[in-house]
Amino acid sequence: MRGARSRQGIIQESQNADSLSCLEKMNHKGTESAEFFSERKIGEGKYRSRLFGSDCHPLEYNQLSLSFQRKVVKCMRQTIWIARHANRQDFVKPEWFTKTANFRYDPPLSKDGFLQAKQLANRLQNEPIKYIFASPFLRTIQTANAIAEILDLSIKLEWGLGEWLNPDWMTMMPETRALETLTKFYPRIDQTYKTTPPHYPETEAECLKRGGDTAKKLIDNYPDNMLLIGHGASVIGATMGLIPNIRPDDINSKLCCLVKLIHQQGDWVMELNGDTSHLSQTETNLRFN
């Protein structure tokens, strides 16, 4: 019959409604999400969650509709980690910039930068992160790769987290490595994820807005805990996108720092502001370029 819903569809809607009601009750009582979500790892970098509760139907979380997943997340304490890349080669050896003809605006990590990335990975190894998004610059990819290895996750390259295209820093649109080249060295890069580069040049306000819009877009499209790895300006912009009343100068964005935002009762709350306690050495003067 036209317009009629299948019996299975009606049952699914009923289960969704019952499960959401259970989640709301638990959230109202202050129950932590870990008490009614259990996870088991299935293959490389893939997770499946089941919803449990005395009044709930057990459901495969990743089989629920995206809109219902968002409702589930709103009943949970979703966490967004935002990190800046580790130390870069041209910060340690300024002559690298003048002696390097190719990719001069895309330096790798320095020796101590690789150590910082590993220390950041160790800091995050027990966190329930499900997605990693990183700027497509080499230093952010190398930072993300250290974390992806320890968390067994893929890396999605997102231009919205990319470097500020400041004409005072660079005379042209920076050239980055081709995806095909990067995946040979960093096979955890998700080649199916597509993103569009911003336009060069851009103002500081445009860069901060880009970072904020990107954070909101990713949270809307990927309703789960995630890690965003960017640059000084994009760390600030992403944070401002979720906490709009905060000022840029109030956000710490040192090298390899960590910002932690938690979604509670409809608002984002900052739990960590550019924390670097995981590093054995930190920069004494904040640098962006």
Residues 142-165 pLDDT 10s: 999 999 999 999 999 999 999 999
CA 38 to CA 237: how far, in whole Å? 33
Does pLDDT of 174 surpass 50?
A: yes
Residues 215-248 pLDDT 10s: 999 999 999 999 999 999 999 999 999 998 999 9
Domain boundaries, the chain: 7-74, 79-275
CA 152 to CA 49: how far, in whole Å? 17
Q: What is the pLDDT of residue 155?
A: 98
* Average pLDDT over every residue of 96-120: 90
- Local confidence band at 33 (pLDDT 50, 70, 90 cut-offs): very low
CA 130 to CA 134: how far, in whole Å? 14
Q: What is the CATH number of domain 79-275?
A: 3.40.50.1240
pTM: 0.76
Report which of 127, 195, 227 is spatially closest to residue 235, judged by C-alpha positions: 227
